[in-house]
Structure 1
Amino acid sequence: MGLAVPPQARDSPGTRHRPQGPGRQGPGGPQPQGDLRAGGVRVSTTVVRRRRHTLYFLEWAAAQRPVHLDTDVDMTRIQAHRAAARDNGRRYSVVSYLLYAAGRALDRHPEANAVMAPGWPGPLRRPRIVRFDGVTAKLALDRPVEGERTVLSALVPGLESANLREIQERVDRYHGEQAAELPEFKGVRMLGRLPVPLGRAAFAAALRDPRRRAGVFGTVSVSSLGHREVDGFHSAGGTAVTLCAGRVVDRAVVRDGVVVPAPMMRLGLTFDHRVIDGATAADVLSDLHHTMETFDDGTWAPDPGPDPRGADRDPRPLGGLEPSTH
């Protein structure tokens, strides 16, 4: 049994589809110009200008060797902190807590706050790993650019010491549809205007010196799809560690032998195996998990008291939480 061709897409013997010029009428009214193939499908061979920076990034990031881990984070304590903050007229987003935890965790694990610096100018030069002194997040944003949804990357520096309020103020800077017009996205707008060969060259040149990488690309990538019905996902953000947060949703957990609901969030960690090994990545993820589940930035009012998750908490210290040595 074959698939029937829609009547408007059928060809008479010996005919073929041709692009329709301006003002010409197709079966459904005026048709856009383009290359129409069998079935009436319009094929475009041009990458939209506003997405060229994404294309250049994906080409560059193809050298990574990503491996994926994930964990479920009990958000009870963070949700309680958010509620207390709202009662005092302050709003904190979930991603700000993740940025806060990422800064502390990577400061305790400097080997993961690093980047692979490929040999340059050629493959005969020995590749090396460069570690960064501070933690700067590359935060993925979904913002309209010239009327089309586009992924932009905003830098949030100083996470190893920034408090939650400072982080949220930085994140708030990128709210709204006008975020794409901010000065820090000038380079992205330029890449969209340049011819493709020059755009590729400019992108590569900006990342060539690993010492400048933190100010261009950050030291850790953070992405969240928690505003949609997404439980978990993984992506490779071009840094040694990429963090991916899903939605917060009530799930069944066991506390004191009783099944109760708790707000849970799936947290994914993708690491570049060229830079760190799985054991180090697992330590970083465990540190993030611990920091978020026991969150306390010293601003609780009143004192939240004991861990609200109760007896299911393992009181033993987690591995990989050694104090910072720098």
Structure 2
Amino acid sequence: MSGATAHGSHTVIERRRRHTLFFLEWANGQRPVHLDTDIDMTRILEHREAARADGLRYSYVTYLLHAAGRALARHPEANAVMAPGWPSAWRAPRIVRFRSVTAKLALDRPVDGQRVVLSALVPRLERASLREIQEQVDRYRGQEAADLPEFKGVRMLGRLPLPLGRAAFGAALRDARKRPGVFGTVSVSSLGQGAVDGFHSAGGTAVTLCAGRIAQRPVVRADGTIEAAPVMRLGLTFDHRVVDGAAAAALLTDLHDTMEAFDDGSGGHVPAAHTRGADRDHGAGRGLAGSPR
């Protein structure tokens, strides 16, 4: 529904996007700080190509989810959330930490012909295999993803009158202990399918991971030589109310090292070229080509 004015036109926010509006209103209380790093994806790309030869297809975001689950299990202080009700003159701030890692994966999906953002939950990342994670990702990326039972709440929010929808959204997040089953414990988003080198967003969790495209960039090897390598910029946004800068930097460093020295835990053969991956330093450079996700 739209209408013209003397100065242009305006458009009423579609019901299908109201859950995004409610989320942004709620997340406004966060105190986001942004970090980023460059990750040499050579080892992951080689693993991906070897898997394809065996008839398996893994998306890049699946590798990120796999690494995030392991890294957050080693940094439990970042797998947490600020409990609702603070700041308050009468209530002390309280942080709730979670034992398991659940990703809230942002998806760009069509709903009734309109592109909207849906948030899909991928649970138990600290122990899920690469194949198990990929099966979840494939389920959510199907053409009929918006009709899945998991998104029943989103569809309901779009049907409710605006005040009731806002109240229902807030009620679903009121109990911080139930947050993983509603909102996840870490947010993950990727815009690497386009010409996006890097970006930052605050996903409502203590940590949000943002992946840009993979592009050929110059990297400096341990012996001082420079060569082109597939590099992905990874952004990490943390809620400073929950996590301090040093802890967030340690988590991002762990993620960087885990992805560059990727190991799926299967005990399979690692090509000789992989042995160089863990101690590479990245040089500055402009991406030459994007890569499909």
> What TM-score do you get using the length of structure 1 for normalisation?
0.82
CA contact (8 A) 1:226 1:248 kept: yes
For 1:123 and 1:48, the matched residues in 2 are separated by: 37
RMSD in angstroms over aligned alpha carbons? 1.8
Partner of 2:246: 279
Letter in 2 for 1:277: D
Partner of 1:164: 130
CA contact (8 A) 1:81 1:300 kept: no
Report the alpha carbon displacement of residue 305 of structure 1 after superposing the two structures with TM: 3.3
CA distance change for structure 1 residues 213 and 306 in 2, over 3 Å: closer, same or farther? same
CA contact (8 A) 2:260 2:277 kept: no
Q: Does 1:37 align with 2:42?
A: no
Report the alpha carbon displacement of residue 253 of structure 1 after superposing the two structures with TM: 1.2
CA contact (8 A) 2:217 2:229 kept: yes
Letter in 1 for 2:201: S
Task: Answer 1 or 2: higher relative contact order, Cα 8 Å, separation at least 6.
Answer: 2
Letter in 1 for 2:196: V
CA contact (8 A) 2:68 2:125 kept: yes
For 2:2 and 2:181, the matched residues in 1 are separated by: 41
> What TM-score do you get using the length of structure 2 for normalisation?
0.91
Partner of 2:233: 266
Gaps of 5+ in 2: 282-293
Partner of 1:144: 110
For 1:291 and 1:312, the matched residues in 2 are separated by: 11
For 1:140 and 1:276, the matched residues in 2 are separated by: 22
For 2:55 and 2:42, the matched residues in 1 are separated by: 20
Partner of 1:126: 92
Identity among equivalent pairs (%): 73
For 1:121 and 1:197, the matched residues in 2 are separated by: 23
Deviations 1:121-158 (A, max 9, x none): 96522220000010000000000011100000000000
CA contact (8 A) 1:136 1:214 kept: yes
Aligned pairs, number: 280
Letter in 1 for 2:118: L
CA distance change for structure 1 residues 251 and 299 in 2, over 3 Å: closer, same or farther? same
CA distance change for structure 1 residues 282 and 167 in 2, over 3 Å: closer, same or farther? same
- Three-state SS of the structure 2 residue aligned to 1:98 is helix
The structure having more radius of gyration, on CA atoms, is 1
CA contact (8 A) 1:119 1:128 kept: no
From 241, 264, 277, give the equivalent of 2:207. Answer: 241
Q: Does 1:51 align with 2:23?
A: no
CA distance change for structure 1 residues 74 and 310 in 2, over 3 Å: closer, same or farther? closer
Gaps of 5+ in 1: 1-32, 315-326
For 1:201 and 1:237, the matched residues in 2 are separated by: 20
